[in-house]
A = this chain, B = another copy of it.
């Protein structure tokens, strides 16, 4: 019996990881946050090469792939019980040498299971920005939020994975009130609208947006206004889980 294989030293991981993890299969997570009216993605910076990548991981031999994704999210953000959405599996045998040249992971000396071809299962998650503690893994120098439109060239096909995750998120936005996961418990209508506009990449009419959101009957206005802004203080709202459950039964559309 050994300890958690996810605590192996880099050397042990490269030399013996194949004893604990499924070969050829990895997990990548696109973790979305919302801050300063911008949609952000959590990225890791590799040691040595200082190239950026998505937080990811591997699947233990007896582990559910969803649990492996949960683990990645928890280790990088400190968050638990966040809904992860599996959106696509990437299986091009040349995804390790796309438009950006061949990618050799840092710290690898000699042959390793990690140098084999990998098929990666992509997940996205929506998290509350302020609750996240970005935490690098042992191969990374840093873990940081990047504004979605300013993401640098990433390793492998990770830029493609981010793009596909955003497309999937946009589609989901019409079927589920996913956006609410990105906001703090109390939020203003302009914040909510800004979130939708950022995800969809288009501007929306203020009054019609408000009407639509109120009509969904899944948020409640509080007798409280957001103080501290430079202008008229907007009302605060909260997402109402009970109302949401009721609305789901009736079959509502969240399309904007």
Binding site for B on A (CB under 8 A): 22-25, 59, 61-66, 68, 86, 88-89, 91-93, 117, 119, 121, 171, 175
The answer to whether A89 and B92 touch across the interface, beta carbons within 8 angstroms, is: no
Number of copies of chain A assembled together: 2
Which residues from B are CB-within-8-Å of A92? 64-65
A sample of 7 inter-chain contacts (CB < 8 A) reads A22-B117, A25-B25, A25-B119, A63-B93, A64-B93, A65-B92, A86-B89
With A65-B119, A119-B65 in contact, is A91–B24 under 8 Å at CB? no
Which residues from B are CB-within-8-Å of A86? 88-89
CA distance A121 to B91 in the complex (A): 10
Return the 7 tightest CB-CB contacts between A and B, nearest first. A65-B91, A89-B89, A62-B93, A22-B24, A64-B92, A89-B121, A64-B93
Chain B residue nearest in CB terms to A68 = B91
Which residues from B are CB-within-8-Å of A64? 91-93
The answer to whether A117 and B66 touch across the interface, beta carbons within 8 angstroms, is: no
Chain B nearest CB from A205 CB (Å) reads 19
Which residues from B are CB-within-8-Å of A22? 24, 117, 119
Chain B residue nearest in CB terms to A62 = B93
Which residues from B are CB-within-8-Å of A117? 22, 61-62
CA distance A171 to B68 in the complex (A): 27
Query: CB within 8 A of A25: which of B24, B61, B93?
Result: B24
CA distance A22 to B22 in the complex (A): 11
